[in-house]
């Protein structure tokens, strides 16, 4: 039996499957989650623009910012915070765990 602080994460990819500058979507516990590799560090966010529901994985990942392809809203994938209009609400972020070469996301 786990403790309350234990992370229960789902393996979604190998680190080699997500080179730096890559964003890919995975279904984790029924949620579309975009996993981003920012200079070798991995981050996970909801794959939905909070402005109009656009798929963020279809946008450009530049450094730690992803741009929604629909209206240009940009989000910091490290925090989920919107950095340009028209979005004003953050996207949800999820903990990422690297175990060996497995990229795991805790969407619970």
User: For 49-98, what is each residue's pLDDT tens digit?
Assistant: 999 899 999 999 999 999 999 999 999 999 999 999 999 999 999 999 99
Strand partners, 36: 23, 43
Catalogue all structural domains in the chain, each as residue range(s) with its CATH number.
18-105 (2.102.10.10)
pLDDT value, residue 8: 84
Residue 6 has pLDDT above 60, yes or no: no
**Range 19-29 average pLDDT:** 96
Residue 3 has pLDDT above 80, yes or no: no
**Residue 2 pLDDT class (50, 70, 90 cuts):** very low
User: For 40-53, what is each residue's pLDDT tens digit?
Assistant: 999 999 999 999 89
Residue 4 has pLDDT above 80, yes or no: no
pLDDT value, residue 101: 96
pLDDT value, residue 7: 59
- Cβ-count burial 15-40 (b if 16+ within 10 Å, e if not): eeebeeeebbebebeebebbbbbbee
Radius of gyration in angstroms for the set of CA atoms belonging to the chain, rounded to a whole number: 14
Q: How far apart are CA 81 and CA 99, in angstroms?
A: 27
């Amino acid at each position: 039996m786990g403790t309350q602080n234990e992370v229960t994460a789902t393996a979604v990819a190998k680190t080699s499957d997500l080179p730096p500058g890559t964003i890919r979507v995975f279904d984790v516990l029924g949620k579309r989650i975009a996993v981003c590799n920012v200079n070798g560090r991995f981050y996970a966010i909801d794959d939905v623009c909070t402005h109009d529901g656009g798929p963020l994985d279809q946008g450009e990942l530049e450094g730690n910012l992803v741009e929604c392809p629909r209206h240009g809203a940009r989000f910091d994938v490290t925090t989920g915070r919107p950095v340009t209009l028209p979005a004003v609400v953050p996207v949800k972020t999820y903990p990422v765990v690297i175990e060996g070469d497995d990229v795991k996301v805790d969407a619970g």
